[in-house]
Structure 1
Amino acid sequence: MTIRCVLFDLDGTFADTAPDLHQALNRVRAGEGLPPMPFAQVRPAVSHGSQAMIRVGFGLEPGNARYEALRRAFLDDYLANIAVHTRLFDGIEPLLDALQERHIPWGIVTNKPAWLTEPLMRQLARGEQAACIISGDTAAYPKPHPAPIYHACQQVGVEPFESLYVGDAERDIEAGRNAGTLTLAALFGYLTEDDRPESWHADGLIRHPQEILDWIE
């Protein structure tokens, strides 16, 4: 099989967004008179969106009277400081160079909403080179539904079976498998203690982005 396109999840796979999300959460906690939470406690929740962040930061679930106000305060603060400390993961830059040399396009498929994804990608180095940027509200359904990956492949002009999808959450691997891509689980991402990536049925497990080249070659 020839891989003609590489697609990445955003948070925890392509970009290390946890530092800015961690600080946004702690600023909202401070406004509520709560002490800061350690980074190690917050990092594993990042790939699972604002609901997981509010659960970790405040112990609240949707339906609680205070939940939506805290979630909105958190997201507003994050948007205002979206790329202060966020960087591409170590190894992504040279990987993108290698893909460019091989004339292999790459793109982003994330469940992050477009109103957060687009400003973040504008500020990240190399973001303007993406062949597609598919957010959680771009397609009719978010991951693990295959629709976002189908949409990405259509934009790039490749078939799913010619594509490789890399992510750090089980829903990423499920979405790729549902769409018919090859899948790699990024062990360097935001995995929790309860995650068992070896049981996700990914085609491979990688500890560094450069290992993606081994699958291409």
Structure 2
Amino acid sequence: MSLKVKCVLFDLDGTLVDTAPDLGAAANAVRIQQGLEPLPLLIYRPVASAGARGLLKVALGIAPDHADFPARRDYFLEYYRANLSKLSVLFDGMAELLAGFERNGIRWGVVTNKPAWLTQPLMVEMNLAARAACAVSGDDVPKAKPAPDSILLACAQVGLSVSDCIYVGDDKRDIDAAKAAGMRSVAADWGYLGENGPIEGWQADAIARKPAELAHLLGMAL
């Protein structure tokens, strides 16, 4: 990995912030509404990046084509918006990584498929909004990841070329989006990973097992 990176772009859920506990709590709120017992939050972690679709499949066994899906999704989203950051935290080592970027003059930002009406308040509540160089959401562009649109918009917002940046994500669609944009990528092995097969098969330019390894890839001491 080049040492000349000027900006690091992160996926949000499962890469920058561990949002699975709050997402799982929202899925359990739907179960409780239906008279069901809550499930262990760990069960939701592998699908936490898949949004309401993935979480409700685990919680209720229903897909978007199910007649009850719209109502259950709406309740899920209402509950989640009201409880965005009760349990969510930066991943271990991420606070030190971001501080290291800032000390070394490396900008950082967020590119997520989360809708802006959830991204923006979460960034504020996690005290990240004022620090990030950009925060591009899935509905800010015509096509969300794995299309390159959101990554290219982030580059435009920070005023840098794709060669000046890298993209870090915990899902294969993150790596596919970076490739489509012509940007180098790092697969975040500390994240949710989803059902994408082995991370070694995603064809990222590098794999980081923890945030400190990303600093090492960039030649930066923490």
For the superposition of Structure 1 and Structure 2, which TM-score range results when normalised by the shorter chain? over 0.9
Match among 18, 41, 54 for residue 52 of structure 1: 54
**Correspondence 1:120 to 2:122:** yes
Distance apart, 1:116 and its partner CA:
0.5
- Where in structure 2 are the equivalents of 1:163-182 lying within 5 Å? 163-182=165-184
* 1:152 matched to 2:154: yes
Moved more, 58-67 or 184-193: 184-193
SS of the aligned residue for 2:140 comes to coil
How many angstroms apart in 2 are the aligned matches of 1:180 and 1:101? 27
Aligned residue among 26, 29, 41 for 1:27: 29
Work out the percentage of aligned pairs sharing the same amino acid.
45
**Superposition deviation, residue 194 in structure 1:** 5.7
CA contact 2:120–2:129 (8 Å) conserved in 1: no
Q: CA deviation at 1:104?
A: 1.0
| Alpha-carbon distance between aligned partners in 2 of 1:170 and 1:192, rounded to the nearest angstrom | 8
Task: Tell me, in whole angstroms, the C-alpha distance in 1 between the residues paired with 2:75 and 2:128.
Answer: 29
SS in 2 for 1:198: helix
5+ unaligned residues in a row in structure 2: which ranges?
none
1:43 aligns with 2:6: no
Deviation at 1:66, TM superposition (A): 0.2
State yes or no: 1:213 paired with 2:215. yes
Is 2:49–2:194's contact at 8 Å kept on the other side of the alignment?
A: no
Counterpart residue number, 1:61: 63
Q: Which residue among 75, 78, 86 is the counterpart of 1:76?
A: 78
State the alpha-carbon separation in 2 of the partners of residues 182 and 193 from structure 1. Answer: 22
Q: TM-score, normalised by structure 2?
A: 0.95
**Which of 109, 112, 119 is the matching residue for 1:110?**
112
Q: TM-score, normalised by structure 1?
A: 0.97
Separation of aligned partners in 1, 2:9 and 2:107: 9
Q: Post-superposition shift, 1:180?
A: 1.3
Query: Is 1:134 the counterpart of 2:136 in the alignment?
Result: yes
CA distance in 1, matches of 2:192, 2:125: 21
Q: Which runs of 5+ in 1 are unaligned?
A: none
Letter of the structure 2 residue corresponding to residue 24 of structure 1: A
Q: How many corresponding residue pairs?
A: 217
Shift of 1:126: 3.0
Shift of 1:215: 2.1
Residue 193 (structure 1) shift? 6.2
CA-based RMSD of the aligned residues comes to 1.1
Distance in 2 (alpha carbons) for counterparts of 1:171 and 1:182? 14
CA distance in 1, matches of 2:42, 2:25: 12
Q: 1:92 matched to which residue of 2?
A: 94
